[in-house]
Amino acid sequence: HEVFAEWMKGDLDSYLIEITRDILAYKDEDGSALVENILDTAGQKGTGKWTAISALDNGVPLTLIGESVFARCLSAQKDERVAASKILEGPKPAAFTGDKKAFLEDLRKALFAAKVVSYAQGYALMRAAAKEYGWNLNYGGIALMWRGGCIIRSVFLGKIKEAYDKNPALENLLLDDYFAETIKGLVPAWREVVAYAVKAGIPMPAFSSALNYFDGYTTECLPANLLQAQRDYFGAHTYERLDKPRGEFFHTNWTGEGGSTSASTYSV
C-alpha cells in the first residue's frame, strides 16, 4: 500500500495504481488484508478478448493485452493449477535478500516501461484499424478522452497527446522523442526485474511480453528468415530476398523432389 501510494505521486499516477493502493490497504473483518482472502481466479467480460481478436485480424502484435487475457484464462484453471503445483515443482518462494529500496525503484521503472509499451501497442492497433476501415482518428483527442474518465486514464496521457499533436503521422508511440528517451532510461531496470522474476519462478507475462516486444521492435534483423524458409519448405509460401527489391517473391525446391509451383498467395 505504501509503495503504490508513493508511486501515485509520480509518472505512474493513474486510476489502476490508485485503486490498487486502496485495495492493498483494505482490511477484512478479522483485520487481515482482504485481498489475501480473495480466490485467485480472474473473470472477464470479453473486452480484452475482442481487442486481441481485432489485433490478430489486423496483424498487429498487441502482446500485452493478449498475455493479460491468457493470464486470466490460466488463473481460472484453479483446480488444475493446484494439482500441477504438487507434481511439477518450481522454485520455492524465498524472502528477498537484496536492496529492497533499489529493487522497488527498478520495479517502478519496469512497470512504467511496460505501461508505455501497452499504450504504444494500443495506438498501433488503432492506426491499423483506421487504415483498414478508412477512419480519420484524432489520436491526441482520444488520449484526452481517456484522461477525462476511463479505467486506463493515466497522467502521461497528456504526453501522448503532445506526441500526436507534434506528429499526427507518428507510426509508433515509442518513436516519439519524449517516449524514446524515457524508455531508454528504463530498460536496464526492466531487464533486472524480468530476470529476477524468471529466476524466482514468478510469472510476469505482461512485463516480459512488453520487454520481448521492445527487443523485437528494436531489432533490425529477426530470425523470421528461418521461419519463412520453413513455410516455403512445407507449404511453398515463397519468400523475399535481401538482395532483391521488396515485393519480389521466390520459391525453392528444397528437397529436389518437389515441384516448382509456389502458393498463389503470400501473407505477412
* pLDDT digits 0-9 by tens, 60-70: 999 999 999 99
DSSP per-residue letters across 63-124: HHHHHHHHHHHHHT-HHHHHHHHHHS--PPP----S-HHHHHHHHHHHHHHHHHHHHHHHHH
User: Percent of the chain beyond pLDDT 70?
Assistant: 96
Q: How far apart are CA 124 and CA 201, in angstroms?
A: 31
**Res 3: pLDDT:** 97
Q: How far apart are CA 138 and CA 78, in angstroms?
A: 42
What average pLDDT score do residues 245-266 get?
79
**Res 179: pLDDT:** 96
Q: What letter represents residue 28's amino acid?
A: D
* pLDDT digits 0-9 by tens, 191-230: 999 999 999 999 999 999 999 999 999 999 999 999 999 9
**Res 188: pLDDT:** 97
Cα 1 to chain centroid distance, Å, stands at 25
Cell numbers describing residue 37: 482472502
210 burial level (CB within 10 Å; 0-12, 13-18, 19+): buried
| Angle, vertex CA 84, rays to CA 82 and CA 85, nearest 5 | 65
What phi, psi does 250 have (nearest 5°)?
-130, 155
Confidence class of residue 89 from pLDDT cuts 50, 70 and 90? confident
Q: What sign for the dihedral angle of Cα 159, 58, 63, 15? A: positive
Confidence class of residue 121 from pLDDT cuts 50, 70 and 90? very high
Q: How far apart are CA 204 and CA 22, in angstroms?
A: 22
Separation in Å, CA 127 to CA 44, 59, 69, 150: 26, 12, 22, 20
26 burial level (CB within 10 Å; 0-12, 13-18, 19+): exposed
Partners of 33 in the beta sheet? 27
How many CB atoms within 10 Å of residue 138? Answer: 13
Which residue has 518513436 as its cell numbers? Answer: 175
What average pLDDT score do residues 79-98 get?
88
Indicate the range of 63-72, 131-140, 142-151, 178-187 predicted with least confidence: 142-151
The DSSP H or E segment spanning 200 is: helix 177-200
Q: How far apart are CA 28 and CA 224, in angstroms?
A: 51
* pLDDT digits 0-9 by tens, 15-42: 999 999 999 999 999 999 999 999 999 9
**Res 264: pLDDT:** 61
What average pLDDT score do residues 112-121 get?
96
What phi, psi does 26 have (nearest 5°)?
-80, 130
**Res 45: pLDDT:** 86
**Res 106: pLDDT:** 97
pTM: 0.90
